[in-house]
């Protein structure tokens, strides 16, 4: 960003977010193993960034090199240069954080060792283990005119060596260090203490034993990251091909796309680096060197060894029973009386599963319709849908096969559901279906009633323990009617043209948001806008927020990741604050608030303010019509603003700095506070909700059943 610019570049803003993730690894108040986990998250985030965003920019550079970013006017080449420079600046901080963690783990009795550090019995054990358990499984290769350069798997670790014989030119040798069922990534040494080696270090150490008569003239570890930017759009026009088959083919294709980054271990010989970059057809700016491991998947094995050392981990917490849910009463009965809001990971996902399971088993339920974007590999949700279909209910599931990196899982589930009788649809041409929407239709003697669930996060039991999300369950007839419109449109391959209460992208979400911003602009300094998002990149909405700020509207933005608006610039954005909270849980819920007091409107949504969400996806935002639910979400939003432990505030130079806390100001960490309240509320609810007394008939029936 340029000085006093109100815009930041999307890619550079994302790198700022990932730097905030790395700050958690540098923070010595965070438990040691959790610091290591944050380095792993930082690294996997960066992997995906290169696969998707850098891959896209490199494609754009080839096709439209003069295309400029609509906020900072940067060309693809300038963005790629800036990205590589920023990443290169950050890696030393990653190395330093890693070194500090490893040193401190050693003090706690967990030692990561290098093969060169072993002596005596330990050295003999390592040599024996390598020769018996690893060496027979390796397939070293030499690159020459008779042995072409092999295909290297995306993000797998390899060993590169320079080979020489007195009468030949030097050759490049490659060994795969890919782990799995054949040999594990971590080798634990015998003894009482936890002492371990990484298998790639051991293979690197003994590489000279693998190339026969060749001598080694340098060696290093490396890995390649490949472009994952594939599109199914053109294939959608081939109406003779099932879209599931199209995605299966594209997933296979992705694994072979061109490299976009090469990583090398510290001290990598320049000759090996140059040779590999030549084979990868990569400029040297895409080569990165680091001291720490090139892949952090090993920490899961280490974590199991350390699990008894509880001080190395965050305090164990478990989702609690929601105080809004009576565990002894039917969900249909409860929702007929009031709306229910669940807040993950603080409250149990099982309360939502109760609704779906009741729907699967209830004889009065005639249909269940749901949009599935990302689901767990052992999904209870899919199991409930299959059970409902097998019992004769009409079940429709829109499975978004284009959910990036979840395509294979979604393909598998779509097949299983289809076999059970679930009607499967795949979405719309050119539009991903990203909404989190469930509609249950129940018919009794009193007529037809809708029960609707709208969420900010995926139908995934596993991520619900790690991501902060909100889910609304309601029997509101207007919300149900709009949800029915959405599913009817999707079933016909259309989008919703207009809706009553739900905001539905791509046609009736952005325009309604603009209308609500305009209303606040009319109120001037009495206006208020509060937005909690993962990302803010939509230029139209950014400009609208700037216009509101110029009219005196107070705007609070809580944005976890990308924010292309720069706050605090005099005359433009001085009435806007941008806060980012990065801590134990991944902030994922989206909240929209417009207005103050009695005219306040509060929504939860699956949509960020990104052009892809507002214009190129099917998204849903739901109004919180129940005052108790709306007040609760408003309170959550304001408590996030109060965080003075994990919150960073964006300054007018675009840099995020820790929120200042006065010496006498008590700490307020939102994630901890929300969990504390969940435990307290669950304890109170346990006293409030009593199991119903059994009737004499039921007790006699149970007695004879024994």
Short-list 618, 650, 417, CA closest to 502:
618
Catalytic-role residue among 434, 588, 660, 671 = 434
Q: Which residue has the tokens 């992208």?
A: 505
Q: State phi, psi for 565 to the nearest 5 degrees.
A: -100, 135
Question: What is the C-alpha separation between 59 and 322, in angstroms, rounded?
Answer: 48
Residue 498 corresponds to which tokens in the numbers above? 């207009």
Question: What is the C-alpha separation between 699 and 336, in angstroms, rounded?
Answer: 29
Number of DSSP helices (H) and strands (E) in the chain, helices first: 20, 27
Q: Which residue has the tokens 């203490």?
A: 193
Residue 485's CB is within 10 A of a number of other CB atoms, namely: 17
**Is the CB of residue 455 less than 8 Å from the CB of residue 436?**
yes
Question: What is the C-alpha separation between 413 and 459, in angstroms, rounded?
Answer: 13
Q: Which residue has the tokens 């099917």?
A: 618
**Is the CB of residue 556 less than 8 Å from the CB of residue 636?**
no
Four-residue CA torsion sign, 288, 289, 291, 294: positive
Question: What is the C-alpha separation between 430 and 234, in angstroms, rounded?
Answer: 9
Residue 371 corresponds to which tokens in the numbers above? 């949009």
Residues across the chain:
706
Look up residue 457 and give its DSSP letter. S
**DSSP string over 96-158:** HHHHHHHHHHHHTTEEE--GGG--HHHHHHHHHHIIIIIGGG---EEEBTTBPPPP--TT-EE
Residue 537 corresponds to which tokens in the numbers above? 């990149």
Short-list 636, 602, 608, 637, CA closest to 622:
602
Helical axes 32-49 vs 76-107, angle rounded to 10°? 160
Short-list 364, 358, 329, CA closest to 447:
364
Long-range pairs, 92-95, Cβ under 8 A, ≥24: 93/19, 93/22, 93/26, 94/22, 94/25, 94/39, 94/42, 94/43, 94/290, 94/292, 95/290, 95/291, 95/292
Question: What is the C-alpha separation between 317 and 311, in angstroms, rounded?
Answer: 14
Helix (H, G, I), strand (E, B) or coil at 368: strand
Ordered strands of the 186-188 beta sheet = 110-112, 194-198, 186-188
Whether 434 is catalytic is yes
Rounded (5°) CA angle 144-149-219 = 80
- Element holding 600 (H helix, E strand): none
Residues known to be catalytic: 434
């Amino acid at each position: 960003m340029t000085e006093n610019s109100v815009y930041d570049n999307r890619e550079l803003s994302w790198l700022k977010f990932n730097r905030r993730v790395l700050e958690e690894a540098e923070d010595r108040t965070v438990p040691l193993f959790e610091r290591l986990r944050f380095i792993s998250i930082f690294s996997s985030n960066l992997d995906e960034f290169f696969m998707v965003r850098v891959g896209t920019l490199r494609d754009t550079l080839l096709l439209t090199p003069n295309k400029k970013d609509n906020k900072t006017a940067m060309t693809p080449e300038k963005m790629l240069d800036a990205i590589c420079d920023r990443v290169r600046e950050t890696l030393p901080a990653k190395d330093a954080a890693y070194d500090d963690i490893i040193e401190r783990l050693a003090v706690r009795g967990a030692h990561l060792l290098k093969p060169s550090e072993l002596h005596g019995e330990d050295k003999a054990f390592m040599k024996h283990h390598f020769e018996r358990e690893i060496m027979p499984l390796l397939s070293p290769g030499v690159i020459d005119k008779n042995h072409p350069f092999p295909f290297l798997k995306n993000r797998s670790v390899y060993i590169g060596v320079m080979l020489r014989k007195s009468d030949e030119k030097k050759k490049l040798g490659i060994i795969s260090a890919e782990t799995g069922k054949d040999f594990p990534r971590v080798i634990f040494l015998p003894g009482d203490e936890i002492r371990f080696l990484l298998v790639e270090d051991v293979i690197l150490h003994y590489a000279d034993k693998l190339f026969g008569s060749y001598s080694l003239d340098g060696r290093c570890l490396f890995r390649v990251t490949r472009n994952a930017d594939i599109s199914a759009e053109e294939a959608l026009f081939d109406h003779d091909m099932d879209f599931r088959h199209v995605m299966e083919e594209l997933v296979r294709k992705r694994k072979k796309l061109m490299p976009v980054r090469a990583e090398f271990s510290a001290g990598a010989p320049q000759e090996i680096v140059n040779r590999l970059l030549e084979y990868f057809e990569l400029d040297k700016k895409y080569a990165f060197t680091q001291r720490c491991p090139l892949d952090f998947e090993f920490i899961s094995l280490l974590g199991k060894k350390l699990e008894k050392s509880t001080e190395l981990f965050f305090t164990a917490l478990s989702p609690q029973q929601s105080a809004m849910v009576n565990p002894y009463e039917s969900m249909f009965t409860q929702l007929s009386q009031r709306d229910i809001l669940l807040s993950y990971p603080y409250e149990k996902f099982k309360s939502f599963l109760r609704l779906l399971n009741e729907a699967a088993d209830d004889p009065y339920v005639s249909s269940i319709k749901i949009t599935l974007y990302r689901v767990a590999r052992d999904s209870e949700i899919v199991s409930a849908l299959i059970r409902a279909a097998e019992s004769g209910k009409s079940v429709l599931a829109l499975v978004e096969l284009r959910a990036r990196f979840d395509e294979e899982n979604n393909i598998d589930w779509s097949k299983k559901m289809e076999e059970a009788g679930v009607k499967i649809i795949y979405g719309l041409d050119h539009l991903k279906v990203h909404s989190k929407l469930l509609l249950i239709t129940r018919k009794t003697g009193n007529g037809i009633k809708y029960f609707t669930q709208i969420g900010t996060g995926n139908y995934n039991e596993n991520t619900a323990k790690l991501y902060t999300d909100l889910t609304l369950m309601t029997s509101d007839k207007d919300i149900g009617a709009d949800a029915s419109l959405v599913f009817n449109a999707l079933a016909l391959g259309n989008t919703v043209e207009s809706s009553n209460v739900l905001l539905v992208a791509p046609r009736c979400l952005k325009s309604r948001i603009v209308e609500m911003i305009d209303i606040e602009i009319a109120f001037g300094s009495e206006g208020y806008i509060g937005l909690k998002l993962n990302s803010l990149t939509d230029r139209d909405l950014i400009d609208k927020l700037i216009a509101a700020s110029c009219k005196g509207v107070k705007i609070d933005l809580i944005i976890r990741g990308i924010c292309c608006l720069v706050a605090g610039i005099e005359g433009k954005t001085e009435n806007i604050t941008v806060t980012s909270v990065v801590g134990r849980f991944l902030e994922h819920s989206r909240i929209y608030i417009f207005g103050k007091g009695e005219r306040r409107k509060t929504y939860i949504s699956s949509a960020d303010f990104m052009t892809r969400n507002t214009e190129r996806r099917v998204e849903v935002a739901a109004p919180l019509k129940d005052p108790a639910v709306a007040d609760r979400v408003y309170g959550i939003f304001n408590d996030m603003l109060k965080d003075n432990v994990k919150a960073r505030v964006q300054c007018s130079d675009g840099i995020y700095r820790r929120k200042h806390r006065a010496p006498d100001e008590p700490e307020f960490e939102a994630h901890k506070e929300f969990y504390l309240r969940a435990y307290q509320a669950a304890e109170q609810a346990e006293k409030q909700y009593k199991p119903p007394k059994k009737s004499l008939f039921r007790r006699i029936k149970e007695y004879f059943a024994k």
